[in-house]
Amino acid sequence: MTIQIASKAIAQLQDLSVTAQRIIAQYPNLDHWIQANQDGKSFYLFSDEVDFINRLLETLYTSSTIWFPQCDFCATPEKVFDFDGDTIDFLFEKKATDDDQAQKKILRDNDLVTSSGIETIRQWLQTNHYFQCDFLRYASVLDIKCLSDVATHTVDFKSEFLEWIKANTNSAQELLCNVNLITKGQTMAQADTAAAQLNTVVEVKKIVTRELENHLTCPVLSNPPDEKTLVSVVSSWLTSSYIIGFDSIAAGLALVLKSNTLGNDDENNASDSIHRLLKQIRRVLVQGKPIEAYPGQFGGVWDYIYESSEAYLILRYQNGCLFTHHWCEKTHSLT
């Protein structure tokens, strides 16, 4: 026997899980490769079925994603193996005439974005020429996905705001922040003039940035942690750090803006608002517990949901770092 997965010899396709068998059935070359190597002289060892499917796809199809045309999305094997049984049944049995409601629920529950959704955001970026910052030409799918929150933005920004966005945007995350900051600044400014509103935006961003600069350190791990490791790492980290830090100023600012921490009165209370949010984040990490973990749609990301009596907090593992990614009070939807 030449194929082993997690020290288990694979003598036939039936030795694999139902999910693995269904994936293989979509790719004839995978089945041919397995049949050809079951009795060969070479020895193949895989850590698990995700590793097995992933390496075969990369070798035979130069791709590490699985395409579901009827549902208009792709995902890595790691993500597909994380789907529950009902989702797997739906994805591999769905016909073009199926009710779209079940599909929408799957997309929402599993934090998936469709190819048409990505294209809609790209078109929005092209149509709204004032957001044509040079870096967006090279934006990744993850970058594009993060902009979904503002892709339907209809506010007709004044020219002063557009020029400021162009001059102060260096990433998709920062574009998201700046668009939301402009919207927030228009409600916070005491004066009606564009100059006064822009001054408020600049001041708020400066205050929030100054507060977040003290919280940019985070644990470094070689692999996505399991629950036991996660609890240990977080507990150990909090003995010397106030919170699990953010991976960038822009990411921290995006979390602050989405949490509705900043009031609509003026910028003077921004610092106090940030301190209250950081205190709440620490309380969730100390008193809450991880309730769910799931991989990202496009690979390289794992999200860990913490829950307390007051809120949900998502820690994200990406590029070897574990950092604070998302905050949501229980009065709002987590998604």
Of 243, 263, 254, nearest to 315 by C-alpha is 243
Angstrom distance (rounded) from CA 199 to CA 197:
5
Strands laid side by side in the 301-307 sheet:
289-295, 301-307, 311-318, 321-329
Q: What is the pLDDT along the chain (335 residues), one digit of tens a residue?
A: 578 898 888 888 888 999 999 999 998 888 888 877 766 667 888 999 999 999 999 999 988 899 998 889 999 999 999 999 999 999 988 665 566 788 888 998 999 999 998 888 877 777 665 555 666 666 778 777 887 777 666 556 778 888 888 888 888 888 888 888 887 776 665 556 778 888 888 888 898 899 999 999 999 999 999 999 999 999 999 999 999 999 999 999 988 887 777 665 555 677 888 898 999 999 999 988 899 999 999 998 999 999 988 889 999 999 999 999 999 887 666 65
| Residue 190 per-residue DSSP state | S
Strands in the chain per DSSP E: 3-5, 8-9, 44-46, 66-68, 73-75, 289-295, 301-307, 311-318, 321-329
Angstrom distance (rounded) from CA 161 to CA 201:
10
Give me the pLDDT at residue 95, please: 60
Residue 2 main-chain phi, psi, to 5 deg: -115, -5
Strand partners, 323: 316
Give me the pLDDT at residue 334, please: 63
Question: What tokens appear for 192 in the block?
Answer: 């009606």
Please report, as a single letter, which amino acid is at residue 293.
A
Give me the pLDDT at residue 97, please: 53
DSSP 93-129: H--TTS-HHHHHHHHHHTT---HHHHHHHHHHHHHSG
Q: How far is CA 333 from CA 100, 190, 253, 278, in A?
A: 22, 31, 19, 20
| Residue 220 per-residue DSSP state | B
Rg, C-alpha atoms of the chain? 23
Helix, strand, or coil (residue 218): coil
pTM of full prediction above 0.85: yes
Residue for token digits 């629920």?
Answer: 105
Angstrom distance (rounded) from CA 182 to CA 178:
6
Q: How far is CA 197 from CA 61, 185, 258, in A?
A: 52, 6, 20
Angstrom distance (rounded) from CA 91 to CA 48:
22
- C-alpha neighbours within 13 Å on the C-beta side of residue 102: 15
Helix, strand, or coil (residue 298): coil
Strand partners, 307: 289, 312
Give yes or no for a contact between 285 and 238, defined as CB atoms under 8 angstroms apart: yes
